[in-house]
């Protein structure tokens, strides 16, 4: 496969983002900024696609202070308009009203956070006539490492065909600060949580797998299993078609 320059990738993605907004009759884009490299790259691309019509949202929900600090840092580095919206009180109020909580409810409760962020993103998208720009990359999409109707609830995914390695390369090229590029990937769902720890797969192995390189058989099996189990996340909800009943008569 022919190598494509980083500049060509940037130009393509910026044009693609702009075209998708135009197709939707929108004038710009809104996106969440977490302090990680994926959202920082989306921010850098969005500033090129819509210099005067993009908005970053920092949405802590019992988040670590350093996550918020890094998110604000990268927003200021790129002179991007933003809103800081603390979703902790909303989360607390919702959780307090939920019955049937158990000792093993940690993941179910954690997934409320990205779903509250999705609601907030679409509020601003509706308010400003923007589209919601997702931050998921190729590796995360392949194994379903995103919350259904949470960070998976977006209008476009400009990073969806980029491995984690490619995300870091483009981020460096576009001037994302080193401390953001080299951060340990984490969804920030709870203290000490990391992407690789939760998946039990490294991004290095995922990138190698997606690039057709050899990886240990047990890792390949783990990736394939996660891909199969998360297929429902990558599809629209199935519809029960009644036409089969008429065909049988």
pLDDT of residue 155: 98
Each residue's pLDDT tens digit, 163-213: 999 999 999 999 999 999 988 876 666 666 677 777 888 999 999 999 999
pLDDT at 157 over 80: yes
| Residue 102: count of CB within 10 angstroms of its CB | 7
Domain spans, the chain: 6-236
What residues have CB less than 8 Å from 169, skipping those under 6 apart? Answer: 6
Dihedral pair phi/psi, residue 30, rounded to 5°: -125, 145
Give the pLDDT confidence score for residue 224 in this predicted structure: 96
Q: What is the mean pLDDT of the chain?
A: 93
The reported pLDDT for the residue numbered 3 is 78
Around Cβ 14, how many Cβ atoms within 10 Å?
18
pTM of the predicted protein model: 0.92
Band (pLDDT 50/70/90 cuts) for residue 31 is very high
Q: What is the mean pLDDT of residues 85-108?
A: 93
Split at pLDDT 50, 70, 90, the class of 117 is very high
Q: Span 25-29, mean pLDDT? A: 98
| Over residues 76-92, mean pLDDT | 98
- What are phi and psi for residue 4, nearest 5 degrees? -115, 135
Is the pLDDT at 99 greater than 70? The verdict is yes
Q: Give the C-alpha distances (Å, rounded to integers) separating 196 from 58, 88, 105, 144, 231.
A: 23, 25, 21, 13, 20
Give dist(CA 167, CA 209) in Å, integer. 16
User: Measured between alpha carbons, how far is 156 from 62 in angstroms, rounded to an integer?
Assistant: 27
Structure tokens given for 151: 């960070």
The residues assigned a catalytic role are 38, 140
* 39-53: pLDDT as tens digits: 999 999 999 999 999
Asked if the model's pLDDT at residue 1 lies above 60, the reply is: no
Among candidates 81, 132, 87, which has minimal Cα distance to 114?
A: 87
pLDDT at 188 (0 to 100): 62
CATH of 6-236, one of 3.40.30.10, 3.40.50.620, 3.40.50.150, 3.10.580.10: 3.40.50.620
Distance separating alpha carbons of residues 73 and 15, to the nearest angstrom: 26
Lowest mean pLDDT among 20-29, 43-52, 95-104: 95-104
């Amino acid at each position: 496969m022919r190598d494509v320059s980083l500049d060509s990738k940037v130009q393509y993605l910026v044009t693609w983002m702009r075209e998708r907004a135009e197709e939707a009759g929108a004038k710009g884009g809104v996106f969440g900024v977490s302090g990680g490299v994926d959202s920082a790259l989306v921010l850098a691309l969005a500033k090129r696609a819509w210099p005067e019509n993009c908005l970053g949202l920092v949405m802590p929900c019992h988040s670590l202070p350093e996550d918020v600090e890094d998110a604000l840092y990268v927003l200021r580095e790129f002179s991007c308009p933003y809103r800081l919206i603390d979703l902790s009180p909303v989360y607390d109020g919702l959780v307090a009203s939920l019955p049937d909580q158990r000792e093993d409810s940690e993941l179910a409760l954690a997934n409320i956070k990205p779903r509250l962020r999705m609601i907030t993103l679409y509020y601003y998208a509706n308010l400003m006539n923007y589209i919601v720009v997702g931050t998921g990359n190729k590796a995360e999409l392949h194994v379903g490492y995103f919350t259904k109707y949470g960070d998976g609830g977006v209008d476009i995914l400009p990073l969806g065909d980029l491995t984690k390695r490619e995300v870091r390369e483009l981020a460096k090229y576009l001037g994302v600060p080193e401390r953001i590029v080299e951060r340990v990937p984490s969804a920030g769902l709870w203290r000490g949580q990391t992407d690789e720890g939760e998946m039990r797969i490294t991004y290095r192995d995922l990138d190698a797998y997606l690039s057709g390189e050899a990886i240990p058989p047990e890792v390949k099996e783990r990736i394939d299993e996660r891909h199969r189990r998360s297929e429902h996340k990558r599809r629209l909800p199935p519809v029960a078609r009644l036409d089969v009943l008429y065909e049988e008569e």
